Structure 1
Amino acid sequence: MSSSNHQESSGSRSWLGEARATILLALPLMAGQVGQMLMALADTVMIGRVGVVPLAASTFANTLLMVPFMFGIGLLACVSIRVSQGRGGKRHEDVKNVLRHGTWLSLAYGICTMLLILALLPFLDRFGQAPEVVAEAPAYLILCAISMVPVMVSIGWKNFGNALNQPWPPFYIQLSGVLCNIGLNWLLIYGHWGFPELGLAGAGWATLISRCLVMLALLLWLKRARSVKEWCPHHWWIRLSGGELKKLLVLGVPVAFQMVCEVGAFAAASLMAGRIGVEALAAHQVALTCASTSFMIPLGVAMAITVRMGEAFGEGQDPKKLHRILTGGWFYGVVFTGASMMVFILCGHWLAGKIVLEPEVIDLAAKLLVIAGLFQLGDGLQVISSSALRGMGDVKLPAWLGVFSYWLVAVPLGAWLAFGRDLGAQGIWWGLAGGLSTAGGLLCVRAWRLASAGPAADAQSA
């Protein structure tokens, strides 16, 4: 009896220890994600004070950049996966090769994205925007397109630091970049302290300068920090290996595809809401803003889970440790999404009233936030389970599960409920709830089964 109790206590301490390690890694990652949301909010407020047309032009430009930006984030997740697995297996040369090739990959992707956006400039009038918006957008869009090069390199290097369990230095550098961006906005948008008053173009310059400074700060940290010195190469710019690049792409492309599927589903939901009417679109945007902000917390946990599962997988640990890490991630996902669910359900009307003033929009947004509250659990579990699978190198099947959940469940169900059953914007959100819950359930089952197989599943998931 006492032996059994001792074993249970030991198992409990081990589970709590894994959960504690996960949350310690996740805290700066959560803070970093919230910081990015605050920077976007600050940009919106500061540009909005210039006028409605500049705000609409910045929204148009950021919409064009959103899909390639999210694809890049998914693509460069391969750095976290490979580095965490290499660190777990104490394979120093593998980790150094990942940093070298990951840097080239992020640089190449950033340049390709920049060239793609610049090639779109003559065709901006084809997107159905108001002529004054099309005329205002290029000055801002060009600068943001150029800034895709430093931001992609920064994401790759930040993923490298996170995978080495060194998340705080990249977080402080990123936070400094956010503050720098806000300060440069104040100087360059409004023309304070003798700087030229550039309006919307000033926001573009602020974005470009702050992103370049963040990239340079991360490079300086990688070059000089003792905590990562043993994992960094002495010679960065050597001839590339096609095999190493292929390994990164085999992991990164499916993750990018999965992320674009999810982002695309929410974009489709916005288009459907716009077809219903202005009030429906405004209420949809209010609910989406609240849901996106709360999502940053389980997303931070998910990023930590990728690193911890990858490290354990690289060590060749038995399935019990993988299960404990995964269970700890699910625990935090349930806690955080449960809290946001209660806030959305009980305080949705109050939250909507803090964002918009029109009573009909507030009422509809509050109803949408109730639905958002109900799908918080599925959303949190799907991102944590998907990230756990990435840590174990399993990226192809989760990508197809994303296609099924978002494009064969969420979007068609939402369209049918909104227009076939006349539920309007609420029908769209019930469709999103169905898709996210489907993804959550399928990915949870997949993650648990693959963790049960342990590192022996590596060949299967490669």
Structure 2
Amino acid sequence: MNSKADEIPPVARSWAGEARATLLLALPLMAGQVGQMLMGVADTVMIGKVGVVPLAASTFANTLLMVPLLFGIGLLTSISIRVSQARGGKRHDEVKDALRHGTWLALGFGVLILLLILSLLPFLDYFGQAEAVVEEAPEYLILTAISMIPAMVAMAWKNYGDALNRPWLPFWILLGGVLFNIWLNWLLIYGHWGLPALGLTGAGWATLISRCVVVLGLFHWQKRAPGVKEWSPKRWWGLWNGTELKKMLALGIPVGLQLVCEVGAFAAGSLMIGSIGVVALAAHQVALTCASTSFMVPLGISMAITVRIGEAAGEGGDSGKLRRILTGGWMYGLLFTGISMVVFILCGRWLAAQIVTEAEVITLAAKLLVIAGVFQLVDGSQVISSSALRGMGDVKIPAWLGAFSYWVVAVPVGAWLAFGRDHGAQGVWWGLALGLCTAAVLLGGRAWRLAGAPHACENSTLSPSVE
């Protein structure tokens, strides 16, 4: 008698296998994203106990660093793409070149962030913050800006590990860094074990030290771990290849700009809602916190999709395999976002009440969470489609599609609904939902078309849009 597994058609078995491989890779990536969020939460809570001014100063400093950080995340995505493609094609030298040049790119961009922040120091009072906040922020801002150098390198090496399908040990190293940062916060902010209580400055030192330790751990891992060290370069100095660096910049810059466009649209939404009133802004923050936390799951899936599509592209770009990987990613994304949509719609008021106590804020936040539930579906779909396109090396046109979706559709429509039709904060959120829906349709259609094109990914880096 044949087993049920034997009765499954080969294509179905292959599709199920691709979906399972994607999920296994995505799990540590999801956990890593949640871990990074928890570090931010821990920092906020621990700094908040020192006082309102230090908390406001840390928020101000992190806001200034947000745009360069997001651009750096996009820029270093080029490492995941180049390494996964080269690994799929068994091209060891290209993997080593990508890691070497990616490391120098990370160092250079980290130094650029530091120089940018140092140049802004004389102009902090131009940002309209309270005088006490401007006086408190500089030392913490400088320390955090210095820590962006090891943070960028750690991100580069983590992307390398993900692209080699070796995500777990980097995840544990990064999680250890989060816990180490919390312990250092306890020592340096509050002055335990005979150390001076440095307050906000102590949090800056804790961030810098913990990020340096993470880099040391990741360097040791890549030089020692089986299945990794053979892909790691033995010479880090010299051996510059202008063509490789050009390819990485051609991939990373559009991705960075696309991320900045998307987050910028949400920042514009926050500014519009802030002009409506304090209740509206508080409700917006509550709903956005819930939506952002839920988004970590499709984000982790999307990161795995970039690696798996890139590897398949490097193997030769078989259209059947590419579409199976893409379909599996969509399936997992829709499954989870469908669940979160139901939770937000049915339990939105309860979720809001766990964060705030003001009845007016809870009522509006519950209404916004209904809209968040709707755009969860399209948000998960668009980020997975966008990541699949990155894996195929297609980055320039998706960046333009993203800019159109967020700045031609989402922001103007949200402003019109909020102020032209008097829908307030809900109008802004419906505008964002429409923009995400537009991005999901445009990016999803392009991803499906390119994945199905014969030899679409031949000779990666892959799409003509990169050349």
Classify the TM-score, shorter chain. Answer: over 0.9
**Aligned twin of 2:54:** 54
Given residue 263 of structure 2, which amino acid in structure 1 is its aligned partner? V
What is the correspondence of 1:80-119 to structure 2 with a 5 Å cutoff? Answer: 80-119=80-119
CA contact (8 A) 2:57 2:136 kept: yes
Counterpart position of 1:378: 378
Unaligned residue ranges in structure 1 (runs of 5+): none
- Please say if residues 298 and 383 of structure 1, whose CA atoms lie closer than 8 Å, have aligned partners that are also in contact: yes
Conserved 8 A contact 1:322-1:454:
no
Matched-pair contact (CA < 8 Å) for 1:26–1:300: yes
2:135 — aligned with what? 135
CA distance in 2, matches of 1:456, 1:205: 48
Q: Cα–Cα, structure 1 residues 412 and 77, in superposed 2: closer, same or farther, change >3 Å?
A: same
Matched, 1:149 2:149: yes
Q: Secondary structure at the match of 1:147?
A: helix
The residue type equivalent to 2:88 in the other structure is G
Is 1:65 the counterpart of 2:65? The answer is yes
Q: What SS does structure 2 have at the residue aligned with 1:355?
A: coil
2:432 aligns to what?
432
Cα distance in structure 2, aligned partners of 1:282 and 1:356: 9
Can you give the 5+ residue segments of structure 2 that lack an aligned partner in the other structure? none
Aligned CA RMSD, in angstroms, stands at 1.3
Identical columns (%): 73
Q: Counterparts of 1:160 and 1:61 in 2: how far apart (Å)?
A: 29
Letter in 2 for 1:234: K
Match of 2:361 in 1: 361
Q: Secondary structure of 1:230's match?
A: helix
Counterpart residue number, 1:401 = 401
- SS of 1:195 mapped into structure 2: coil
The CA distance in 2 between the partners of 1:126 and 1:228, in whole Å, is 48
Q: Distance in 2 between matches of 1:456 and 1:296?
A: 30
- Look up the match of 1:171: 171
Q: 1:114 to 1:454 in 2, by over 3 A?
A: farther
Q: Deviations over 1:397-426 (max 9, x none)?
A: 100000000000010011111111111111
Quote the offset at 1:460 in angstroms: 2.4
Q: CA separation in 2, counterparts of 1:53 and 1:351?
A: 28
* Displacement of 1:318: 1.9
- Provide the secondary structure at the position in 1 that maps to 2:453: helix
- Describe the superposition over 1:101-143 as per-residue Cα deviations: whole angstroms up to 9, x where unpaired: 0010000000000110111011000000111111111121111
Moved more, 411-420 or 226-235: 226-235
Alpha-carbon distance in structure 2 between the residues aligned to 1:237 and 1:91? 21
The whole-number CA distance in structure 1 between the counterparts of 2:393 and 2:69 is 22
Looking at structure 2, the residues matched to 8 and 169 of structure 1 have their Cα atoms a distance apart, in angstroms, of 35
Contact 2:394/2:463, CA 8 A, preserved across alignment:
no
- 1:313–1:454 CA contact under 8 A, matched in 2: no
Deviations 1:311-350 (A, max 9, x none): 0000014211001000000000001111111111111111
**1:352 maps to what in 2?**
352
**Aligned residues of 2:392 and 2:463 also touching (Cα < 8 A):** no
CA distance in 2, matches of 1:459, 1:16: 27
Equivalent position amino acid for 2:40 in 1: A
Residue of structure 2 equivalent to 1:313: 313
Q: Amino acid of the residue matched to residue 452 of structure 2?
A: S
Partner of 2:74: 74
Aligned AA (1:157): W
The aligned residue for residue 257 of structure 1 is 257
CA deviation map 1:329-385 (0-9, x unaligned): 000000111111111111111111111111111111111111000100100000000
Q: CA deviation at 1:213?
A: 0.5
Determine if contact 1:80/1:306 at 8 Å carries over to the other structure.
yes
CA distance in 2 between partners of 1:57 and 1:343 (Å):
35
Normalising by the residue count of structure 1, what TM-score does the alignment of the two structures yield? Answer: 0.98
| Residues 195-214 of structure 1: pairs in structure 2 closer than 5 A | 195-214=195-214
**Per residue, is there more helix in 1 or in 2?**
1
- Aligned partners of 2:111 and 2:402: how far apart in 1? 28
User: What are the within-5 Å matches in structure 2 for residues 219-368 of structure 1?
Assistant: 219-368=219-368
Q: CA deviation at 1:225?
A: 1.4
The one-letter code sitting in structure 2 at the alignment partner of 1:227 is G
Deviation at 1:258? Answer: 0.3
The code of the aligned residue for 1:93 comes to D
- Whether contact under 8 Å (1:106, 1:152) holds in the other structure is yes
Query: Quick one: distance in 1 between partners of 2:215 and 2:231?
Result: 19
Q: CA deviation at 1:8?
A: 5.9
- For 1:188, the equivalent position in structure 2 comes to 188
CA-CA distance at 1:454 after TM superposition = 4.2
CA distance in 2, matches of 1:16, 1:9: 11
Contact 2:180 2:210 survives alignment (8 Å): yes
Q: Which amino acid aligns with 1:343?
A: V
TM-score, length of structure 2 as denominator length: 0.97
What corresponds to 2:464 in structure 1?
460
Instruction: Please give the alpha-carbon distance, in whole angstroms, between the structure 2 residues aligned to 1:226 and 1:12.
Output: 33
Q: Which whole-Å CA distance do the structure 1 matches of 2:34 and 2:199 have between them?
A: 26
Judging changes above 3 Å, is the alpha-carbon distance between structure 1 residues 274 and 332 closer, same or farther for their aligned structure 2 residues?
same
What per-residue deviation string (whole Å, max 9, x for no partner) do you get for residues 190-215 of structure 1?
A: 11121110111111111111111001
Q: Letter of the 2:148 partner, please give it.
A: M
CA contact (8 A) 1:73 1:256 kept: yes
Distance in 1 of aligned mates of 2:313 and 2:239: 29
Q: Summarize deviations over 1:52-101 as a string: whole Å, max 9, x none.
A: 11111111111000000000000000000000000000000011100110
Q: Write the letter of the residue equivalent to 1:264.
A: G
Q: Is the 8 A contact 1:381 1:440 kept in 2?
A: yes
Q: CA deviation at 1:461?
A: 3.5
How far apart in 1 are the matches of 2:266 and 2:161? 30
Residue 239 of structure 1 deviates from its aligned partner by: 3.5
**Maintained 8 Å contact 1:348/1:365:** yes
Count residues in correspondence.
459
Q: Look up the SS of the partner of 1:240 in the other structure.
A: coil
SS at match of 1:194: coil
Give the aligned partner of residue 416 of structure 2: 416
The amino acid across from 1:213 in the alignment is V
SS at match of 1:456: coil
Q: Is the 8 A contact 1:273 1:280 kept in 2?
A: yes
